[in-house]
Amino acid sequence: MKKIVVSGKTIDDAVRNGLQQLGVPQERVKVNVLEQPSKGLFGLIGAKDAKVELELLPDAIEEAIAFLRDVLQTMQLEVRIEQKQDKDGIELHMHGTDLGMLIGRRGQTLDALQYLVNIVANRYADHHLRIVLDAEQFRERRKKTLQELADRLADRVIRSKKEVVLEPMSPQERKVIHSQLQQHPKVRTFSRGEEPGRRVVIVLR
């Protein structure tokens, strides 16, 4: 944890000096007053400045990215991490070569890593954070694959008049199937089973 000791004519001046040095807003630091200012004799002799210690508090996103970099280094992967913010939360996009092992079968390794990154971030956050982890646009490609699968299976249900039960999926992937068929005029969807074996079922309306 980074700490600096700074001085100023007043405590506020000292804090401002410290924030300027660190380049952060006041909510990112813990202030510990070491010495109160004193005017001294006749306001001249023995006057003392205020002295404060500023302790830089951890940033949740920075801590999450640092954890992610450690994992990637352990896996001996050279990856560039790009951070994006949207209305749903923070996205961390990873770019590099040979990221297949980072994604895993149907994104299972990526999902597990995303879970751990969120745990680390929320350990330091003062409100709940949601971080989505992606590698080489896997999430978008997987979403399109699932949307196409949903349409194909909906046609099968209409032709056969029998329900179709999909393989177990994560809540995020089930949501894609449900959303894709939500407005379908002839079929509807629901989920069946318990996690992690919960599946989407497509049936006639």
- Residue 126: which of 27, 24, 3, 18 has the closest Cα? 27
Q: Which of 106, 136, 166 is the last residue of a domain?
A: 136
CATH code, domain carrying 116:
3.30.300.20
Using the predicted structure, report yes or no on whether residue 43 has a pLDDT greater than 60.
Answer: no
73 and 118, same domain (yes or no): yes
Residue 181 CB neighbour total at 10 angstroms? 20
Domain that holds residue 14: 3-56
Total number of domains in the chain: 3
Q: 155 Cβ partners below 8 Å, 6+ apart? A: none
> pLDDT tens digits for 92-112?
999 998 888 899 988 989 999
> pLDDT tens digits for 52-91?
999 888 888 989 999 999 999 998 988 999 999 877 789 9
Question: By mean pLDDT, which of 46-55, 61-70, 116-125 is the weakest?
Answer: 46-55
Q: Which of 136, 151, 180 is the last residue of a domain?
A: 136
> How much is the mean pLDDT over the chain?
90
Q: Say how far apart CA 201 and CA 203 lie, in whole Å.
A: 7
State the pLDDT at residue 98.
81
Q: Which of 90, 111, 136 is the last residue of a domain?
A: 136
In total, the chain counts a number of residues equal to 205
68 and 128, same domain (yes or no): yes
19 and 80, same domain (yes or no): no
CATH code, domain carrying 175:
3.30.1370.50
128 and 157, same domain (yes or no): no
Q: 94 Cβ partners below 8 Å, 6+ apart? A: 72, 79, 80, 81, 82, 102, 133, 134, 135, 136
